[in-house]
Chains A and B, each alone.
Chain A
Amino acid sequence: MLKVLKAGFYTTIQDAGRFHYRNKGVPVSGVMDEISVFKVNSLLENEESAAVLEITMTGPTLIFEKETYMALGGAKMSATLNNLPIQNYKVYMINKGDILSFGRLEKGFRSYLAVKGGFTSKQVLGSRSFYQPITKYNRLTDNDAVPFAVQEDFQPKISEIKVASFLDDSVLEVNKAPEFDILTDKQLEEIFSRTFTVAHENNRMAYQLSETIQAHTISMLTSATIPGTVQLTPAGKLIVLMKDGQTTGGYPRAVQLTDRAICILAQKKGGDIISFKLV
């Protein structure tokens, strides 16, 4: 078990996601920054779908109640193990009673904690990813305990990797989404020629952007959306759907973030600046 001494701002269990229920209105959920999670899981030689803790903005204080190996990735949050500073993308051997805590958010927004074999909390509809009300809770709270697999004699092949960080990247590469071709020249020009500020209304469901572009009166029937879909509201606001985003929507779908751009945006917080680039 991993016990939560202090929960931090918003810590959830996430895996690769919940598939095959979109036609019943269930978001895919899963880790927001797949690139960082792929790296920590591969460092521990876990399966790609192994569940991790997604730690947002302010980290928790956690105590390991049995031995394992762990690695952190994603945002830099001044993590310490038994009060000694530790690094991202490095395997640490954990003894029973070891305490992991987090300090100041240095860079990025979401950090990931992986343990050898992954967290083994209950699956609901084929996934461990938190999403209320599919799962009972939407985040971990004080005194929660998260189970993980027992792993004996694990010899990590590689104990540390250098990762080309994208935490400073701000250009989001996009492809066309279904309503792209009915946007006006002015709307397209505004989307691609300026920068946007990430609004404080941002979470696992959607990121809103502060600036508005030309308004519209396009009326369409409700149709499918996916993570990374950028919707344009009638008032000219851009909303980027993220992993817990709804499966259908009625606003024009202007552009679609690439998988990498979703990871870049997942590491942004309110006030950060981004721009779009069509590829």
Chain B
Amino acid sequence: MNSPKINIKPFGVHSVLIEWPNEVSEIILEKILHFERFLTKEVFTNKEWELVPSYNSLLIINRTKQLDFQKLSSDIHKWYLQLKESPKPDRYLWRLPVSYDLEFGLDLEEVASQLHKTKEEIIALHTGATYTVFGIGFLPGFMYLGGIDKKLEMPRKATPRSRVVKGAVGIAGKQAGIYPQESPGGWNIIGNCAVPIFDASKENPCFVSVGDKIEFYKISKAEHDLCKIEAEVGIYKPEKIKIDA
């Protein structure tokens, strides 16, 4: 596979940013994660380093040392050129239940009316796609999901809500997402997912990683309530399927 070109930029004295072409692409994301894995295992093994992938970039931070940008930059180019295909890490498809009950889907009717569709058609479009996690940020456990059906694309709300509840399932432009906690937010809310995406009491607080896939399936309000109870007592296990590399 030909490697897409990278561009390395200074970002203060403790970090450098590696950028790939400015596009949302599975191939680029795969390359970023592949390189991240290599760097984490072979180069930046010390606890001082942290790597943050997102869409078309990979940030490399060293929290204690001042970095020599020229030297690090030329090393990164060298490592990238030498990058070999390696066994892919485990990636998962997570199937998450969503209640589209109007109690949760605050904007569902508005979205349907704007897009000239029925509520059922909106739900079918939302549950019919497989989303890719292109980044996690904004809030702990907030996933930037790409892969929304073009027919569901709708701008974010003109006036953001000051309070969006935990688990709110939203769409905005080319993105889908779930609010992992209560927060202000401007996305169109069409349902709620009771599965806790982020749990600070767990050693791995967020079961999803950048590069994983997400699918939504529809459940009733009663099933949603049950899922919420199971999640609260800690027995809910999200459905996962290993993605074949």
Contacts and interface: CB of A to CB of B under 8 A. Distances in A.
B55 A23 contact: no
Contact of A248 (B13, B24, B138): B138
A177 B205 contact: no
A154 interface: no
A23 B210 contact: yes
B15 interface: yes
Interface stretch (B57-65, B82-90, B99-107): B57-65
Contacts of A176: 9-12
A20 B210 CA distance: 15
A27 B137 CA distance: 9
B52 A224 contact: yes
Interface string B227-238: 000000000000
A27 B19 CA distance: 22
Contact of B50 (A22, A181, A222): A22
A12 interface: no
Given A221-B56, A246-B139, A178 B11 contact: yes
Interface residues of B, number: 42
B12 A226 contact: yes
A23 B59 CA distance: 10
Nearest to A27: B140
B22 A124 contact: no
A252 to B, nearest CB: 12
A220 B22 contact: yes
A125 to B, nearest CB: 6
Interface in B132-148: 134-142, 144
> Chain B's interface: helix, strand, loop or mixed, by majority?
loop
B181 A133 contact: yes
A134 B140 contact: yes
Given A175-B12, A226-B15, A247 B52 contact: yes
Nearest to A279: B13
A162 B233 CA distance: 54
A247 B198 CA distance: 15
B137 A248 contact: yes
A224 B142 CA distance: 14
A119 to B, nearest CB: 19
A22 B11 contact: no
B48 to A, nearest CB: 9
A248 B135 contact: yes
Contacts of A181: 9
A135 B144 CA distance: 24
B54 interface: yes
A133 B51 CA distance: 23
Contact of B12 (A26, A248, A256): A256
Interface string A210-235: 00000000001111101011000000
A251 to B, nearest CB: 12
Interface in B36-56: 47, 50-56
A226 B22 contact: no
Given A124-B200, A175-B10, A177-B11, A223 B141 contact: no
Nearest to B12: A256
B54 A24 contact: no
B57 A224 contact: yes
Interface centre among A26, A177, A178, A258 (most CB of B within 10 A): A178
Given A19-B50, A23-B51, A24-B136, A258 B13 contact: yes
B136 A23 contact: yes
Interface string A249-261: 1000100111100
A223 B57 contact: yes
Given A26-B205, A221-B55, A256 B11 contact: yes
A125 B137 contact: no
19 contacts: A19-B47, A21-B140, A22-B50, A23-B210, A25-B142, A134-B140, A175-B12, A175-B13, A176-B9, A177-B10, A177-B11, A221-B24, A221-B54, A221-B55, A247-B52, A248-B52, A257-B12, A258-B13, A259-B14
Q: What 5 A-B pairs are tightest by C-beta distance, nearest first? A: A248-B137, A256-B12, A224-B59, A221-B55, A224-B52
Given A23-B136, A223-B54, 12 more contacts: A22-B52, A24-B205, A26-B205, A125-B200, A222-B137, A223-B56, A224-B52, A226-B14, A226-B59, A246-B137, A247-B136, A256-B12
